Chains A and B, each alone.
Chain A
């Protein structure tokens, strides 16, 4: 079956511009996560959605970052007024059940964001 799909796969933009990254989770997965992976660093949690509950935004690094999930499926991560330190690979994952669960998260191939 189809896995987690992310688009675009690569994005190059100028400092100060806004960017939108898209994630289409595995069908039927109610939990959706966004992570950031920088060179030489581990995956950094950004935000988590579970069903119709309020998202857990505790990992967002600044108020320039926001995300939404429409209809319990597709999610969009938006970065406003991009800075060079925002350059990283942004990974999306989904799982069958969220909070407190042992269900593995399944990842997309990420969006590689480069800020010039």
Chain B
């Protein structure tokens, strides 16, 4: 069964304190690993797609990396506005076009 697991469930950081969020997956025939940011009361906002092991993508203070079994979202010197829930999702090529989402990591950055 395809599965995406995120850890930790919640993370509290001080402003400027760098850390990483983990997304491990068992998705057969992965066609893309997606990261989204979700603010309270809003829909998920697309951040990155990673296609193959070793790939990295960056956007401001965020950097996403991918291995054969997991992905990391590194947050460097976070600011309070980075507080959100970060969702990871695996896209499959098993004939099923939808994404398998993890439950997310709720990040709170305190000033």
Contacts and interface: CB of A to CB of B under 8 A. Distances in A.
Interface of A: 4, 31, 33, 35, 40-43, 45, 48, 50, 56, 58-59, 91, 93, 98-102, 104-110
A110 B104 CA distance: 17
Sort A-B residue pairs by CB-CB distance and give the 10 closest, nearest first.
Answer: A107-B43, A99-B97, A43-B101, A102-B32, A42-B101, A45-B98, A104-B46, A42-B103, A109-B43, A107-B44
A116 B104 CA distance: 28
Interface of B: 4, 31-32, 34, 36, 41-46, 49, 51, 87, 89, 91, 93, 95-99, 101-104
Contact of A102 (B42, B45, B49, B102): B49
A56 B102 contact: no
A73 to B, nearest CB: 19
Given A91-B43, A109-B41, A104 B34 contact: yes
Contacts of A35: 101
Given A33-B98, A105-B99, A109-B42, 7 more contacts: A42-B4, A42-B102, A42-B103, A43-B89, A45-B98, A102-B31, A104-B46
